[in-house]
Amino acid sequence: MSLGISPICNHIITTMSQAETHTFQAEVKQVLDIVIHSLYTDREIFLRELISNASDALEKMRLKTLTEESVFQKDAELSIKITLDEEAGTITLTDTGIGMTKEELQENLGTIAHSGTKAFLNALKEKGDGNDSVIGQFGVGFYSAFMVAEKVEVLTRSWQEGEKGHKWTSDGAGSYTIEEADVENRGSTLVLHLKEDEKEYAQSFRVNGLIDKYSNFISFPLYVGDERKNTVEALWRKSKNDITDEQYTEFYKFTAGAQDEPRYTMHFSADAPLSINALLFVPTENQERFGTGPIQAGTSLYCRQVLIDDAPDGLLPEWLRFLKGVVDSEDLPLNISRESMQDSALVKKLNDVITKRFLKFLEREANKDAAAYNEFYTRFSRFLKEGVAMSHDHREQLCGLLRFPSTSTEGEDMTSFQEYIDRAPEDQEEIYYIVGNNRAGIEAGPYIEAFKEKGIEVAFFTDGIDEYVMENVMEVKGKKLVPANREGLDIGEVEESADALKGETAEKFSTWMSETLGESVGKVTVSSRLTSSPAAALLPADAPSPQVRMMLEQMGQPVPEVKASLEINPSHTLVTGLDKLRDSDPALANLVAKQMADSALLAAGMVENPTELLQRNQEVLERLVAGETN
């Protein structure tokens, strides 16, 4: 269908022949009824539909001028013009596009030959209530004019030399007329005589607002009166080689309403599996870091440079909400609605393709400039971690983008899982990690002592959500992720001191500790991995971490009871001294044993009420001072 709008608006029209009256085919009547009464959720969408049709007519005309020798008014500007008459309540839309002959008028607007109404209706039956997800595929958007107009006139003249002009008129009730008319210029003019309660659309501020919202990036000049409206280029449709960094920055500021410059710019086109032109930006700063709450998605969805939705649900995953920019796909139905967005298989496919491309883009940027990527990661890592926790399909790619300090890094330096694997011995099948509040606290604790002694790298995760994130990652690149603070790890034994508790002595001490501590711990064993700490509290391998337990409690969910195991360092002077003290001063030994265990539990985040620990600490100190003074 080749209807449109253009800047030669003042056609001179004189009826040349008797008007012929025709009845719409039954299928067209059905389409009109559906469009007018139940298809569109926003009536304002009619203007977007008509401008889109006009743009299509102009594109066809552009191609004709390249392939045909004889073209009527070949040098006419390819453009669209809208003229408003608020007093008369009319909108006039004119294009200098391909135009139509009498036969094409009848075929396109009155029968099923070219308008696709039969296929459209069949699709409606298949879609059930999903009517609005199919209209754009069949070129019936013209009929949306009848949502706001009580009468529509189409004045058109074909691009072919010698063809006459014609006028098509209908009130959308069941019939239309066609008559010969003296139309001076090539193209099509639509005159919409607005219904009484729809005359707001003859007001310039209303029309300008709709153009800014939906049609600001169409390829051809679009005028309202004498003022051109679409002055910003659709950069996403241009070759990257033809765009400067300054143009990208200005486009980012315009589309995102931003004042900063983009940190990253990703511009790509694809033909398979979908036709996609996308231009996406990463802002300089993550606004969520300032406590303003979740930011709103900032990627708009277009179809052939016509806006579908400025905040589409499902176009990108929630964890990529920081991205700004435009995605344009010619494969989408032009008027896919917000209500049907998440149910559209095409939108889901777009989501998958664009997400993979963006994550691949970040991989390249990280390899190209690690320092710049680390700056991005410092500000935006929360979003990537959300993705790790929420997205099984993209988890492997996202894990490759994570950065963290480890026992092999210094200061503020970070590393990746791939670099960890590259440094590890070939026969090491595990990636060891530990979650804590900060690096200093982790390194001061007991859990990485043996790893350091044996030269086994341990990754540090110190963000508040890291525990939850890591719970969702079973392995990375075939290597199993293993918490370094869990019991049952076999990394080989550390060297014991000459004074260490051994054999039966160690077993008796462990039994005594277990009896003394009672139900406060699960079991007491002699550790093979502690070097400088007297004891460590370790969770069972399948137990939820303290952070996860706290989260479950805050959500009102059942919290499973977990008891940590206590590993004691048989070489530590506190342990060997306590073994002697339990014979010489059982009461004090009992206090010291409980204090040592609670200190280990506190370090593991397993002490919910530290008051008892503090009171016992005071009692131990009092006993020691009293012993020294006696």
pLDDT(341) > 80: no
Which of 122-131, 257-266, 439-448, 554-563 is the least confident region? 122-131
Assign domain 235-400 to its CATH architecture.
2-Layer Sandwich (3.30)
Check: CATH 3.40.50.11260 for 404-485? yes
Average pLDDT score, the chain: 85
Predicted confidence band at 2 (pLDDT cuts at 50, 70, 90)?
Answer: very low
Report the C-alpha gap between 235 and 258 in whole angstroms. 17
- Chain segment 85-123, per-residue pLDDT in tens: 999 999 999 999 999 999 988 888 876 434 445 555 555
pLDDT(442) > 80: yes
Question: Which residues of the chain are in CATH 3.40.50.11260 domains?
Answer: 404-485
- Chain segment 12-51, per-residue pLDDT in tens: 344 555 789 988 877 777 777 777 766 566 788 899 989 9
Tell how far CA 414 is from the center of its chain: 25
Residue 373: phi and psi, rounded to 5, are -65, -40
Is residue 128 within 8 Å of 38, Cβ to Cβ?
A: no
What does the pLDDT average to over 124-147?
56
Predicted confidence band at 138 (pLDDT cuts at 50, 70, 90)?
Answer: very low
Is residue 444 within 8 Å of 392, Cβ to Cβ?
A: no
What does the pLDDT average to over 163-168?
95
Which of 135-144, 319-328, 443-452 is the least confident region? 135-144
- What pLDDT is attached to residue 59? 92
∠ Cα 221 227 228 (to 5°): 25
Assign domain 20-228 to its CATH architecture.
2-Layer Sandwich (3.30)
Cis peptide before 283, with omega less than 30 degrees from 0? no
Report the C-alpha gap between 363 and 373 in whole angstroms. 9
Q: What length is written for the chain?
A: 630
Contacts for 408 with CB less than 8 Å, ≥ 6 apart: 415, 420, 423, 457
- What pLDDT is attached to residue 12? 39
pLDDT(342) > 60: no
Alpha-carbon torsion 386, 387, 391, 392, what sign? negative
**If residue 599 lies in a helix (H) or strand (E), which one and from where to where?**
helix 586-603
- What pLDDT is attached to residue 131? 40
> Is 562 or 512 the better-scoring residue by pLDDT?
512
Amino acid identity for residue 1 in this structure = M
* β-sheet with 458-461: strand ranges across: 458-461, 430-435, 479-483, 475-476
Q: What residues pair up with 375 in beta bridges, in sequence order? A: none
Contacts for 577 with CB less than 8 Å, ≥ 6 apart: none
Which of 220-224, 478-482, 554-558, 601-605 is the least confident region? 554-558
Is residue 461 within 8 Å of 435, Cβ to Cβ?
A: yes
CA distances from 160 to 61, 97, 99, 184 (A): 11, 12, 9, 13
- What pLDDT is attached to residue 128? 46
Is residue 530 within 8 Å of 569, Cβ to Cβ?
A: yes
Predicted confidence band at 549 (pLDDT cuts at 50, 70, 90)?
Answer: low
> Could you tell me the two tokens for 482?
């293993």
Which of 127-141, 444-458, 595-609 reaches the highest mean pLDDT? 444-458
* Superfamily of the domain at 499-630: Heat shock protein 90, C-terminal domain (1.20.120.790)
Question: Which residues of the chain are in CATH 3.30.565.10 domains?
Answer: 20-228
Alpha-carbon torsion 467, 471, 477, 481, what sign? positive
Question: Which residues of the chain are in CATH 3.30.230.80 domains?
Answer: 235-400
Predicted confidence band at 331 (pLDDT cuts at 50, 70, 90)?
Answer: confident
> Is 438 or 540 the better-scoring residue by pLDDT?
438
Which of 91-105, 256-270, 277-291, 321-335 is the least confident region? 321-335
Report the C-alpha gap between 42 and 38 in whole angstroms. 10
Secondary structure of residue 475 in the 3-state scheme: strand
Question: Which residues of the chain are in CATH 1.20.120.790 domains?
Answer: 499-630
- What pLDDT is attached to residue 624? 75
- What pLDDT is attached to residue 373? 97
